[in-house]
Structure 1
Amino acid sequence: MFGAHELKTQFIKVGGKKIHLIEESENLVRYRRDEVERIIKNNGEKLKILPAPATGYGVRLLMIKFKEPLVVPPQDSLTGFIEAPIEIDVKIGELTIDHFIVGKEKYALYGTLEAGVICRYHISPFYAEEPDSLGVAKLTVSNPSLEWESLERVVIPIWKTPMYYESSRAYYPLLIVTIRDNVPYVNNTGKPPKDGLNAVGEVLSLPNFLMRW
C-alpha cells in the first residue's frame, strides 16, 4: 500500500479506496481513482503513495476524544496508542497528482463560539498495544503534579507535521502530553514513534500546544 509502486497494470487498495493503474501503451499509464483520472508518461519513475496529516479543508489541529477518559497517578505517566485519521498523497517525483481522504471526515469546534477554532475530529479507544488501524499515534501522558489527573481528549497540532509509514500503516510523530496545574501541554515531537519507519516531510518538532479549553 504505502511506498513506491511500479507503473504497470494493477490495483492498489488504500483503506476503503482503490487505485487502478492501466498500461495503455508501451509508455503511457492511466491512473484512476473514483472519478479522478490522469495519463502518466512512464519513464521508469515509480508512483508513490504516502500518508498525509488529516488537515481536510486546511485545519491546523486534530482533536482525538478518548472513548474512556485516561486517569494518571501523581508523578507518573501512561504510554499507549490511539487511532488517528489520515489523508493520502499520490506522487510522481515531487509532483502530487492526487490527494484524498480515507474514512469518515468529521470536524468539531475547539474552544468557545467567540474564540474557538475548527479542527478535525475523531473518537478513539486508548490501546496498550499498537492497534491494527490505518492511522496510528503513540501517546505518552505525563503527570508531574502531586494530584491525580484525568484526560478526556487530546488536541494535536498537525499543520506541516512530518508523517511516518510502513507498508500497511501510517503514523503521526510521537506525542507527549504533560499535565501541569490541570492544563495539558501537547508536544508533537516530530520524532518517529518507533524504529524502522519511513519519513514523509521535514522531521521537526512543532511548537507546544496549550489546551486551554
Structure 2
Amino acid sequence: MYGRYSLDFCIEKDDLKICFSRDGDVVRYSRTLGDSTMERIIASDGGQVIINPVEPLNLPEEVTRFLEIRFESIIIEPEATRRIYLTFPIEIGIFISKKAAFRCIDIFSRLPQKYSLYGPTDTGVITRYHWSPVSFTLPAHDPCFEGVVELDIVNTTKGWVEVSRVVLENYGMKIYYDQGLVSMKAQMRVIKSTIAETCCIRSPIREGMRKSIELYYTRTIGLSESALTFTMDAGVH
C-alpha cells in the first residue's frame, strides 16, 4: 500500500478503501475505514499521491508530542549496550505533491489511540501509550498496523539498571518503510538508574527503505540538535 501513485487509482485492503478519481477539472479523494470516512476535492491537473506512515502522534488532534512504549522489564549489566526490537503504532498519511510542494490531506490509523501520563501529575507529560513484546531479532508484524523500533539501550553507569519503558519525542522521529516493514532506529542512554536520554537515528533498519515525509519536521523551523533529544527524568522502569 505504501508508495507513490498517480491521481487516479483505488486501493482496497480488508475494511480500508482509498480512491482518487478525476471528475472534470478536479480530483475527488475518498477514504473509508470501518465506520470512518473522509472526502476531499483537489484542484490539480497533475502531480502524484504519496502514502506513507507518519509519526503516531496526530490522532486525535495532536494530543501529545510523546510516544511511550512499555515492555517487559530488562536488567542490563554495567557499562553495556544491548539491542532490542519493539513495536510501535502506525498512523498513515495521504499526501498530494507537485514539483517541490506537498500537502497532507488525510491521516488515519487502524489501531485505537491510548494515552498515559509519564511523570508526576503536576509536571509530567501526556504520552501516546503502547505495550510491546520484546524481541532480540526483527519480529514479524503487519506494517499497516505496527512498525518496529530498533532500540539500543546504553547503560553508561557502573551499576545494573532495570528498564521497562522508553519515551520518544515527535520532532526526532525518522520513519522508514518498504512494502514489508515500517521502522525506526532509536537510542536510550541510561545516565542514572532513574534517568535516561533518548533520541531517534536517521538511518533505516535495512537497505533500500524509503524515508517517510516528516509531519512534525515540516511544521518546525530551525530546530537544534538538542531539541531532538528527550530526557526521561521520571524513571525508566
> Shorter-chain TM-score: what band?
0.7 to 0.9
Cα distance in 1 for partners of 2:138, 2:148 equals 8
User: What corresponds to 2:120 in structure 1?
Assistant: 112
Shift in alpha-carbon separation, 1:179–1:20, aligned structure 2, 3 A: closer
Q: TM-score, normalised by structure 1?
A: 0.85
| Cα distance in structure 2, aligned partners of 1:126 and 1:142 | 16
> Post-superposition shift, 1:45?
2.4
Partner of 1:208: 229
Q: 1:191 to 1:36 in 2, by over 3 A?
A: same
Moved over 6 A (4+): none
Secondary structure of residue in 2 paired with 1:127: coil
CA distance in 2, matches of 1:92, 1:77: 41
- Aligned residue in 2 for 1:20: 18
Higher helix share: 2
Judged with a 3 Å threshold, the aligned counterparts in structure 2 of structure 1 residues 210 and 25 are, in CA distance, closer, same or farther, namely closer
**Which stretch of the first structure deviates more once superposed, 53-62 or 4-13?**
4-13
Q: What residue is the counterpart of 1:33 in the other structure?
A: 31
CA-based RMSD: 2.5
Q: 1:24 to 1:130 in 2, by over 3 A?
A: same
Task: Output the amino acid matched with 1:180.
Answer: I
- What is the TM-score with the length of structure 2 in the denominator? 0.77
CA contact (8 A) 1:2 1:169 kept: no
User: Which structure 2 residues correspond to residues 73-84 of structure 1 after superposition, within 5 A?
Assistant: 73-84=77-88
The residue aligned with 2:7 is 7
Paired residues, number: 209
Q: 1:38 to 1:125 in 2, by over 3 A?
A: same
Which digits, 9 at most, give the CA deviation of each residue in 1:118-168, with x for residues without a partner? 110000011112223321111001113222211010111123633221124
Question: Which residue of 1 is the match for residue 65 of structure 2?
Answer: 60
- Gaps of at least 5 residues in structure 1 are none
1:97 offset after TM fit, Å? 1.6
Q: Distance in 2 between matches of 1:101 and 1:197?
A: 21
User: In percent, how many aligned pairs have the same letter?
Assistant: 28
